[in-house]
Amino acid sequence: MSNYNSMPIFEIIYVVVNYGMGSRILHKAKECGISGGTIFLGKRTVNNPLLNFLSLYDERKEIVLLGTDSHTADHALVELNKEFQFEKPNHGIVFTISASEIIGSRCYKSKEKIEGRGVSKVMYQNIITIVNRGKAEEVIEAAKAAGSKGGTIVNARGSGVNETSKIFNMDIEPEKEIVIILSKEDITDAIVTSIREKLEIDKPGNGIIFVQNINKAYGVYE
Q: Does residue 14 or residue 36 have the better pLDDT?
A: 14
Provide the H-helix boundaries in the chain: 22-31, 49-53, 70-84, 136-145, 188-199
Provide the pLDDT for residue 5.
44
- pLDDT tens string 109-158: 444 444 434 445 668 999 999 898 899 999 999 999 999 988 889 886 55
Q: What is the mean pLDDT of the chain?
A: 78
- pLDDT tens string 20-57: 999 999 999 999 999 888 888 887 765 655 545 444 45
What is the CB neighbour count within 10 angstroms for residue 33? 15
The answer to whether 39 and 23 have CB atoms below 8 angstroms apart is yes
- Name the pLDDT band for 169 (thresholds 50, 70, 90): low
Residues with Cβ within 8 Å of residue 26, at least 6 apart in sequence: 36, 37, 39, 64, 66
End-to-end Cα distance, the chain: 42
Provide the pLDDT for residue 113.
44
Q: Is residue 190 scored above 70 in pLDDT? A: yes
The phi and psi torsions of 147 (rounded to 5 degrees) equal 115, 0
Domains with residue ranges and CATH for the chain? 4-119 (3.30.70.120), 124-213 (3.30.70.120)
The answer to whether 215 and 120 have CB atoms below 8 angstroms apart is yes
Residues with Cβ within 8 Å of residue 100, at least 6 apart in sequence: 2, 4, 7, 9, 10
- Between the alpha carbon of residue 21 and those of residues 48, 163, 200, the distances in Å are 22, 34, 36
The answer to whether 11 and 68 have CB atoms below 8 angstroms apart is yes
Provide the pLDDT for residue 74.
92
pTM listed for this prediction: 0.70
Query: Three-state DSSP class for 137?
Result: helix
Mark 192-222 as b/e (b = at least 16 C-beta within 10 Å).
bebbbebbebeeeeebebebbebbbbbbbee
Provide the pLDDT for residue 139.
95
In this prediction, what percent of the chain has a pLDDT beyond 70?
69
Provide the pLDDT for residue 21.
92
Read off the pLDDT of each residue in 158-170 and give the average, rounded to a whole number. Answer: 53
Phi-psi group of 147: left, alpha or beta (phi > 0 → left; psi -120 to 50 → alpha; rest → beta): left
In this prediction, what percent of the chain has a pLDDT beyond 90?
36
Cα(60)–Cα(68) distance, integer angstroms = 26
